[in-house]
Amino acid sequence: MSGGAADGAEGAGYLVLARKHRPQTFDALIGQEAMVRVLANAFAAGRIAQAYVLTGVRGVGKTTTARIIARGLNCVGPDGTGGPTISPCGVCEPCRAIAEGRHVDVIEMDAASNTGVDSMREVIENTRYRPASARFKVYIVDEAHMLSTSAFNALLKTLEEPPPHVKFLFATTEIRKMPATILSRCQRFDLRRVPVERMAAYLGELAGREGAKLEPEALALIARASEGSVRDGLSILDQAIATAAGATASAEEIRRMLGLADRARIYDLLDHILKGAPAEALTELRDQYAAGADPAGILRELAEAVHGLSALKVSPEHIDPALSSEAQARSRAMAEGLAMRTLTRLWQMLLKALEEADQAPSALMAAEMAVIRICWVSDLPSPEEILKRLEAEGPAAPASGPSAPPPSGGGGGGARAALALAAAPQSAPAPLEAVAPQHDAAPQDLQALSALLRARKELVLALEVERGLRPTRFEPGRILFAPSESYGGEAALRLSQKLAAWTGRPWLIEPDEAAPPASAAPASFAETRAAAAEALSARLKADPAVAALLAAFPGAELLKSAPPSVAASAAELLPAESPPLDDGETPEDLDAYGAFDDEAP
């Protein structure tokens, strides 16, 4: 049924099919029978909600449905005595005014351009006034998800308890962006995509009314390209009628117009891929590209073909209606000869190829690389097949000579070579002897613990232990320490985990509840080492030889001192019978004898 808007605009210029054939009644709305049935029962029982939210993909009829509901609410019938109805007459003044978009009591808002709270305050203010001439004042908010949070919040109270003469109709494609507080105050209808068969029949009917002729396969191609959107389907049909220029639009013309490849040639390309023939597959791909097909579109067509074959293999009745009888027969034969794991592998690789096509500098290069890659793995055997082949070959025999190099060539050859290599007899490897893991010796005291940490390059842990750990009890596997601000449970946990891994035994490192107060706590390793260095320096400074040197050189300082295990005095460091220092030799060279650094690390 043609819309009233078309009648009002007649002679004012050409109207696209989506506007010219906009449904004006629910009988003309296709694919939404469930919603129409619920609304019909609600109108018949007088249970009309205060607000409705209509959601669905683009072009399925959300705004159209809202306008039909507005007409049904305000229709008075041809004689002016009618009430709310699901089938507006289209004759009375409210019906004609709403259809032409000039009714003062039906306000249609575009939320994308009226997102702020000020626009919503104006709506709320106007709801206080009764309709000027209609039965209900109806607000149609299109793209409602674009409203701001403040605008939604301002509408909450009015939407929950609106005046009896006000109805709200929200239309949105992004229902997830609508606040739950709004949705809870509305009745929700999810408009469905129109099936391909129903869409093709509808487009064929409109084409006949427009005096255009299209092949059934061409209509099926348009219906499939619309993806369930009636508006998209009508836009493509409008373009197809202009392309045919009065003649019958063929499927080949529609494919060229949409940048689609011939489905028969898609099956040819898929057949080359499945045979592992990259040269023939590339030739077919480039021929389709030269004929006007988009490379990314070819990959999408391949993915659709693989999906169709997979669905057909599961359910023989699931056949694409857009295919010709020859293509349907060919797809059935291909589905019977392919394993599901092969189809699944192709599907995953084609999805990856589509992602690469969007990122590659050239879609053609991405498509060619994808075809080559798929050819090489097209007939690659599954792990189950390789295992069965190996089991059938029996026990492996020792290799009698050098292995032959793998053959080069197409994808099938590479896959078959992989299978041959996997199934070839090979010498059994010698069993490996169990090697016991090597563990470090458990440290017996703080000095051994510090040495282990530094040997393991755990310098942070080493500094924490040397400066903060004050053990009250130290034994392999257990350390009790006096808690302090510089060392606590977190550092102890890290140390116990490291020691357990290195020594192969659990370590319990925990605070000692009976530890003395901080002033009487045991010294840390750094403090003990500093005290030993100071004591050794004092002993050396008291030595007559060192005292004589310091006196002979005013301002000189004793920077390094040998530990007691190396020398007891400075005289022992340089005994009388030892030769004098060579030119260039310094006292620091004595570090080779184990000089001790008294500075903190």
Q: What are phi and psi of 52, to 5 degrees?
A: -125, 145
**Which token pair is 32?**
């939404």
Residues 56 and 182 in one domain: yes
Under a CB-based contact definition with an 8 Å cutoff, are residues 103 and 139 in contact?
A: no
Which position has the token pair 């030993």?
532
Residues 165 and 38 in one domain: yes
Residues 24 and 161 in one domain: yes
- Residue 287 belongs to domain with CATH number: 1.20.272.10
Instruction: For residue 77, give its domain range.
Output: 4-190
Rounded to whole angstroms, the Cα distance separating 319 from 170 reads: 37
The alpha carbon torsion through 418, 420, 425, 428 (nearest 10 deg) reads 10
Residue 54 lies in a domain: yes
Burial of 182 (0-12, 13-18, 19+ CB in 10 A): buried
Residues 364 and 263 in one domain: yes
Residues 49 and 150 in one domain: yes
Residues 518 and 566 in one domain: no
Residues 103 and 36 in one domain: yes
Under a CB-based contact definition with an 8 Å cutoff, are residues 470 and 522 in contact?
A: yes
| pLDDT band of 584, cuts 50, 70, 90 | very low
Residue 601 lies in a domain: no
Q: How far is CA 159 from CA 51, 113, 123, 146, in A?
A: 7, 21, 11, 17
Give the model confidence (pLDDT) of 102-140 as tens digits: 999 999 999 888 888 888 899 999 999 999 888 999 999
Residues 481 and 554 in one domain: no
pLDDT score, position 228: 87
Which of the listed residues 162, 190, 218 is the one where a domain comes to its end? 190
CA angle 465, 470, 471 (to 5 degrees): 100
Residues 276 and 134 in one domain: no
| pLDDT band of 313, cuts 50, 70, 90 | confident
Residues 365 and 481 in one domain: no
Q: What mean pLDDT comes out for the span 453-472?
A: 84
Residue 138 lies in a domain: yes
Residue 76 lies in a domain: yes
Under a CB-based contact definition with an 8 Å cutoff, are residues 515 and 472 in contact?
A: yes
- Residue 138 belongs to domain with CATH number: 3.40.50.300
Which of the listed residues 257, 273, 304 is the one where a domain comes to its end? 257
Can you name the residues that pair with 471 across neighbouring β-strands?
A: 481
The H or E element spanning position 41 is: helix 33-45
| pLDDT band of 563, cuts 50, 70, 90 | low
Q: Tell me how many domains the chain contains.
A: 5
Number of alpha carbons in the 13 Å side-chain half-sphere of residue 458: 18
Give the model confidence (pLDDT) of 369-387 as tens digits: 999 988 887 666 666 667 7
Mean pLDDT comparison of 229-233, 409-413, 424-428, 444-448, highest-scoring range: 229-233
Q: Is the pTM of this model over 0.85?
A: no
Residue 600 lies in a domain: no
Residue 384 lies in a domain: no
Which of the listed residues 222, 242, 257 is the one where a domain comes to its end? 257
Residue 422 lies in a domain: no
**Which token pair is 338?**
């392919």
Residues 78 and 215 in one domain: no
Can you name the residues that pair with 188 across neighbouring β-strands?
A: 53
**Which token pair is 197?**
């068969």
Q: With the C-alpha atoms ordered 20, 22, 26, 32, is the resulting torsion angle positive or negative?
A: positive
Written as one letter, the residue type at 356 is E
